[in-house]
Amino acid sequence: MKPLIKFAWPSPLGGSKGRKGESRRGRKLTQYISMVTGKAMVRSPMRRSQRRPSLLFLQLDSAKLARDGLSLAPLARTVAVTFASADIEVVESTTQQTLLERLAELCEGGRVFDVVVVVAHSNEYGIQIAADAVCPWDAFARYLRPFNPRRLCLVACRAGRSTPARTLFDVLPKLRRIYASPVKASLVVGQVLVALAPLLLSMRAPKLDHVRLAQTALLCFGKAQVWQWLRNERDAPEAMLLDAFADFLDASVRTRPPESNYDGRV
């Protein structure tokens, strides 16, 4: 049975009444929350062909990830320096308020991102977006909707299962591919996805043979799984069977405990 996740959109004005008492930061949050909770499509002022390839890296509840030995922000910053020709933004947050403020700043300028990489704790029903907030996948997808991502890399436990994939595709109309683990994610999965994320910017469409080769290598040498979901696969009748197969495969290859102190709960 799907557990109930209590989630409410925060008040962007921090309790202030009326527009006279509303700060510029409050106005940004108001506009951003109105955007993510509405149905209107968000359009970038520039065509994709007119701007640099772009990547957004989000590390959510960063302090807990650091305590669990799963922080990937330093690696992300190294990648950003190495691939200076791309527009790479690294965002770390611990509270829901700071996350909203940073996303609102990016949204205000009409920023869009071809690839979004998310590092967080999660399960198939929801994601820990901050120390003080857990939200279901459909609400999290709305956080990303203003940025129109085409590809999404999730370094998060069980985020690669059929339920999160279907939900993300439903809410994000521009999304074409998802890369994530259908079982408990490990540090090696995160390192591989973060390091390879810039390559997704340079590819029009990753070749299936290359994806399968990378998946096999990761399974054999890293004892880990990363699945690729395509938009046209979200309603495939065999999706639930793939979830069960992932659990069987994980039990067969995992010979050591996960590389973190995380207990798998959100």
Per-residue model confidence as pLDDT tens digits over 191-210: 999 988 888 887 777 888 88
Q: What's residue 129's pLDDT?
A: 93
Q: pLDDT band for position 47 (50/70/90)?
A: low
* Residue 170's pLDDT band (cuts 50, 70, 90): very high
3-state secondary structure of 180: strand
Decide if 132 is inside a domain.
Answer: yes
Q: Note whether residue 134 is domain-resident.
A: yes
Whether 132 and 95 have beta carbons less than 8 Å apart is answered as: yes
Tokens of 54: 């772009």
Q: Which stretch of DSSP H or E encloses residue 115?
A: strand 115-119
For residue 129, tell me if it sits in a domain: yes
CA separation (Å) from 179 to 8, 57, 65, 265? 28, 14, 20, 21
Could you tell me the two tokens for 175? 């999304």
Can you give the pLDDT at residue 238? 76
Q: Is residue 43 part of a domain?
A: no
Dump pLDDT digits (tens) for 57-72: 999 999 999 999 999 9
Residues 6+ apart with CB under 8 A from 153: 115, 116, 117, 118, 178, 179, 180, 193, 194, 197, 200
Question: Does residue 20 belong to any structural domain of this protein?
Answer: no
Is residue 88 in some structural domain? yes
What total number of domains does the chain contain? Answer: 1
Question: 248 lies in which domain range?
Answer: 48-253
C-beta neighbour count of 13 within 10 angstroms: 18
Average pLDDT, the chain: 82
Which of residues 154 and 236 earns the better pLDDT score?
A: 154
Where residue 250 falls among pLDDT bands split at 50, 70, 90?
Answer: confident
pLDDT band at 263 (very low <50, low <70, confident <90, very high): very low
Residue 71 in domain: yes
214 — pLDDT class (breaks 50, 70, 90): confident
Q: With pLDDT > 70 as the criterion, what percentage of the chain qualifies?
A: 80
- Look at residues 263, 261, 264, 245 and name the one whose alpha carbon lies nearest to residue 253: 245
* CATH code: domain of residue 202: 3.40.50
- The reply to whether 26 falls in a domain is no
